[in-house]
Structure 1
Amino acid sequence: MMQSQKFTLSPPSLEELAKALQAPLAANFEQSAVSVVPCPDLREAPFGLATAGLSGDEKVADVGGQPNLFPRPRLGAIWSMTDIARAMEMDPGRGGLLGAGAGPFHVVGQNCELAPNLSWRDGLDNVDNRTRYVEIDCANGAVHVAQSSSVDCALMVNLFGSSGDPGPVLKITAKRRKGAEKSFAECIRKGLHAAYGDSQTISLGGVFLVKSGRATYHVMPDFPSEAELPFKDRGEVDKWLTYHDFDGPIMCLSVLHSSDPGKAMGLRMEHTHCYSTTGAQTGGHYHYEAEEGGEYIEYEGYFNTAKAIYRVDRP
């Protein structure tokens, strides 16, 4: 039985958020724009989402968390994303989920990154699953991207859920970084926090494209052997991860929060997982613009606000 804590949100209008984000983006990029537009059909290329839009019954969930990874992986922390949708009180008739988490190692055969992307119609048993996982080839260290056959996730996952309907969204574009913040997602998140502080939480979910330029991603390798455990601290976990610089175009699925309500929910403040839109074997957990290629970096994103946060099975 999942343990779930709900926090209701009352976000400002998208128009107000667009105005709040213009200055921080302009300070960080040579070119940027924030506007409210009708959502493009995100089922179409280059996005390939399982839903057309990001509107209707908008919610986010933070499930599990990084403490499930260290000091040693908690291999019993496995969930079905359709069960998570039920814990989020989503409409069982129709809806969709996207986000970032750890993959179903028990299905794939090893630990991996997960980019959830699924929808359902006429019941949560009727799923269109376009989820990808990103893994490290144990033999040669190469990155491998594949479509998941499972709706399971493990350890931790951050999800944005909606009815998947068309509707107004925030369109955010940025090109050629000039400021100190190297992460597009963190630039947005920190801009919201600067505008609203800790008194009002703004939670966004959606997609963005690294249209061009190079960014840095990590991919978790398979779990360490028992002899290599436990991880002594978070620094050891960071050293265990594998890091890769990849060129765009890469599509990213993202969930972020301007603040943790009352600093009491233990939220992961930003989580973004990605994979190539061209079929290239590139992707993973998005970090930031790479050291080389920043002069060519270009982003295009579409986001909507959540009306509730569900904290599920907090470690």
Structure 2
Amino acid sequence: MTITIRSLERRLSSSTKLSPFASMQALRLSANAQPAVDPAKLKIVKRTLHVPPLDEIKTVFHEALSKNFAEVKVEIVDSPDLTEPPFHLATPGLSGRPTILDVGGISFYSNEIEKQKLYDIETLVKHLGYTKELLVIGAAHGPWPHLKKDSDVVVNTVLNKPKSAARSYGITVDETRGKIEFQALPLNETRFSVLGNLFLSEGKPGKVLKVFAKKRTGKDSFIFSMRRSIENRYGKKLVGIGGAFVIQKGSTLQYFPNLLNKPLAEGSRMRRVNSYYLYDSSPPQIAVGTFVSANTDLDLIPHHFHTFSDHKEGGHYLVDSSPETVEYLGYFTPGEVLYKVDQAPPGKAPAVPIPENY
């Protein structure tokens, strides 16, 4: 039987009541038939995070970044309107129920993409009790039923709001041309696969940490410097940070899985290293994601940021590749609670040919 949007609308408006999860999945059937996992069937663990005063985090960040960058400034400020350039986020601020969401894990990855587990941000956050307008930003593996191939996704969306101009972006590799393909996702495409590291908040203005760093002199990247600083300072007290930053100047090293070891076209800007493609992207790049002070028994991903840009370049942020000229500007805030959703079983993860301090 052929299912059309019109027939689905009739079915959903009939006397038969469907759950919110079933309704959303049904509306997507006309585009593709692969549903996301029902969040009610997933194991979810909630942890209350340690939330240090912003003044304290400010000092911790400054000390760590000063060891790796020539110029550093960390301030506590009122959040600017982050919907404006250069950030282009889905809401003006980062405040209001700040939450860290860590979903899935790398052992759910499969070379056969149709076997990769699918999640839906919209149904998941409603299951967690978030029903007001909600900013969701971060890094995840892509929605393969929509993009039809292995992919990453830059999540930048606002839920429970009638209209939004903000977009999430899918990132894939065109091996025949040897280049990254970057495309805006439909506003109703809120799925991802395998794993995701997301920051949630009501998107309200509020006090945030403004972090500026210029000219990298050490081995640690911008994000790794800050992540290691909270690891060293807070030990077993779990701290989670979410936010966005812009690489204003300097190129950025990105990577993308190449577990099938496919060759690249001659003259490609990309290069192969073991099971990954590496490539440089040009500024400005906007990055969104999270980092935590420890992976704990929940097997949390320590830090994960994806980037996007007006000039259709982006990917998984590793480190700047032009340390002499790089400039970062970011806004961050600590989360109050963390959810680990569907912790992956132990398994052999793909080897990552990247130094730990990236």
Same fold (TM over 0.5): yes
User: For residues 173 and 38 of structure 1, what CA distance do their matches in structure 2 show?
Assistant: 15
The AA in structure 1 aligned to 2:150 is N
- Aligned equivalent of 2:247: 210
The structure with the larger Rg is 2
Where do residues 40-189 of structure 1 align in structure 2 (5 Å cutoff)? Answer: 40-69=80-109, 75-90=115-130, 92-121=131-160, 130-149=167-186, 150-181=189-220, 183-189=221-227
CA shift at 1:126, angstroms?
Answer: 6.8
CA shift at 1:26, angstroms?
Answer: 1.0
- Aligned equivalent of 1:38: 78
Deviation track 1:71-118 (CA, whole Å, cap 9, x = no partner) reads 87672410111122124432x121110000111111111111111011
Matched-pair contact (CA < 8 Å) for 2:247–2:327: yes
- Aligned equivalent of 2:32: none
Matched-pair contact (CA < 8 Å) for 2:90–2:164: no
| Identical aligned residues as a percent | 27
How many residues align? The count is 292
**Bigger RCO (CA 8 Å, 6+ sep):** 1
- Aligned equivalent of 1:252: 287
Residue aligned with 2:324, SS: helix
- Aligned equivalent of 1:289: 320
CA shift at 1:35, angstroms?
Answer: 1.1
As a proportion of its length, which structure holds more strand? 1
Matched-pair contact (CA < 8 Å) for 1:217–1:288: yes
- Segments of structure 1 that go 5 or more residues without pairing to the other structure are 226-236
CA shift at 1:158, angstroms?
Answer: 0.6
The Cα RMSD (Å) is: 2.0
Deviation track 1:24-45 (CA, whole Å, cap 9, x = no partner) reads 1111110001111111111111
CA shift at 1:300, angstroms?
Answer: 0.4
Matched-pair contact (CA < 8 Å) for 2:132–2:202: no
Kindly indicate whether residue 65 of structure 2 is the aligned counterpart of residue 25 of structure 1: yes
Superposition TM-score, scaled by structure 2 size? 0.77
Residue aligned with 1:286, SS: strand
Kindly indicate whether residue 230 of structure 2 is the aligned counterpart of residue 192 of structure 1: yes
Residue aligned with 1:85, SS: helix
The verdict on how the C-alpha distance between 1:238 and 1:11 changes in structure 2, with shifts beyond 3 A counting, is farther
Superposition TM-score, scaled by structure 1 size? 0.87
Matched-pair contact (CA < 8 Å) for 2:199–2:290: yes
CA shift at 1:218, angstroms?
Answer: 0.9
User: For residues 133 and 100 of structure 2, what CA distance do their matches in structure 1 show?
Assistant: 16
CA shift at 1:120, angstroms?
Answer: 2.3
Matched-pair contact (CA < 8 Å) for 2:289–2:304: yes
User: For residues 74 and 194 of structure 1, what CA distance do their matches in structure 2 show?
Assistant: 40
Where do residues 221-300 of structure 1 align in structure 2 (5 Å cutoff)? Answer: 224=260, 239-260=274-295, 263-276=296-309, 279-290=310-321, 293-300=322-329
- Segments of structure 2 that go 5 or more residues without pairing to the other structure are 1-40, 262-271, 345-358
CA shift at 1:2, angstroms?
Answer: 2.3
The AA in structure 2 aligned to 1:274 is T
Matched-pair contact (CA < 8 Å) for 1:214–1:248: yes
